[in-house]
Amino acid sequence: MRDPAALYQALCRRDAALDGIVFVAVRTTGVYCRPVCRVRTPLARNVHFYRSAAAAEGAGYRPCLRCRPETAPFCPAWRGTQSTVDRALTLIEAGALDHDGIDALADRLGIGARHLARLFAAHLDASPTQMAQSLRIQRAKRMLDETELPIARIASRAGFSSPRRMSATFVALYGRPPSRLRPRRPRASQ
């Protein structure tokens, strides 16, 4: 932690740079706040600083009802449904939709499949399946550009169910099969 005197000065200024990074607990009230809270500034001798809301709660302080420090910036609750979409994207990138369906992904997130589809439409203007397909194509395209792997191996590693499925996807998107997208490499002279 930084110097408590410097933190107290930042509290007096209501420094937004510390919002979500430092939490201010007041001994006399038993409440902890965000440093930007508009309550009257407590005396320096009554203040203790914590790095997280959980640490302040663990020390016996309760959250301020005005500034809601338990939902401070950088906490998932602060970002609302965007954090759910971000978690879903992380799982999709890890291959969650390569073998399982939308229902399994939604179950892992603790929500329903219809609600997951609504969140994706609201935040990304695309469905989870479309995002998974786009990520597969990006992975395959990168492997086509950077490796000499056979098309069947690229399809498998990129998350496509078969080389035929990958080829059909590339033809639909690029108007040509993946083999024609592979860069021409000069042959080594023997």
Buried b (16+ CB within 10 A) or exposed e, 12-48: eeebeebbbebbbbbeeeebbbbbbbeeeebeeeebe
Sign of CA dihedral 32, 34, 38, 43: positive
The number of C-alpha atoms within 13 Å of 87 and in the hemisphere containing its C-beta is 17
Report the catalytic residues: 33, 37, 64, 67
Q: What helix, strand, coil percent values describe the chain, rounded to 5?
A: 55, 10, 35
CA dihedral 56→62→67→72, nearest 10 degrees, is 40
